[in-house]
Amino acid sequence: MLENFVETKLRNSQGYSKYGEKISELISKRHNPNTQEIVQQGLIEMKIEPKIPLSPARLLSVFDEIQVARQLTLVDFDIYSTIKPVELLNQAWNKPKLKYRSPNVLRLIGRSTAISMWVASCVLWQPTLKERIRVLTKLINIADHLRKMNNFNSLMALIAGLNTAPIYRLKHTREGLSPQTIKTFQSLEQLMSNNQSFLNYRTALHSVDPPCIPFLGVYLTDLTFSDDANPDEINGLVNFGKWELMYNIIAEIQQYQQIAYNFEYVDHIASFLRELPQNNDRDMFDLSKAFEPKGAAKTDIA
**In 38-48, which positions are buried (b, 16+ CB within 10 angstroms) versus exposed (e)?**
eeeeeebbbee
Give the whole-angstrom CA distance, residue 121 versus residue 288: 10
The predicted pLDDT at position 47 comes to 40
CA 41 to chain centre: 29
Phi then psi dihedrals of residue 39, to 5 deg: -90, 125
The predicted pLDDT at position 138 comes to 95
The domain locations on the chain are 1-48, 51-300
Indicate yes or no: pTM above 0.75.
yes
The predicted pLDDT at position 32 comes to 61
The predicted pLDDT at position 231 comes to 83
SS (H, E, C) 188-222: HHHHCCCCCCCHHHHHHHCCCCCCCECCHHHHHHH
- The burial class, CB within 10 Å (0-12 / 13-18 / 19+), for 126 is buried
One-letter amino acid of 101:
R
pLDDT in tens, the chain (302 residues): 777 777 776 666 655 556 677 777 777 766 665 544 443 444 444 443 444 444 455 667 778 899 999 999 999 999 999 999 999 999 999 999 999 999 999 999 999 999 999 999 999 998 899 999 999 999 999 999 999 999 999 999 999 999 999 999 999 999 999 999 999 999 999 999 999 999 999 999 999 999 999 999 999 999 999 988 888 888 888 888 889 999 999 999 999 999 999 999 988 888 888 888 888 888 898 999 999 888 878 777 76
Q: Give me the CATH code for the 51-300 domain, please.
A: 1.10.840.10
The predicted pLDDT at position 74 comes to 95
Q: What share of the chain is helix, strand, coil (3-state, %, to 5)?
A: 65, 5, 30
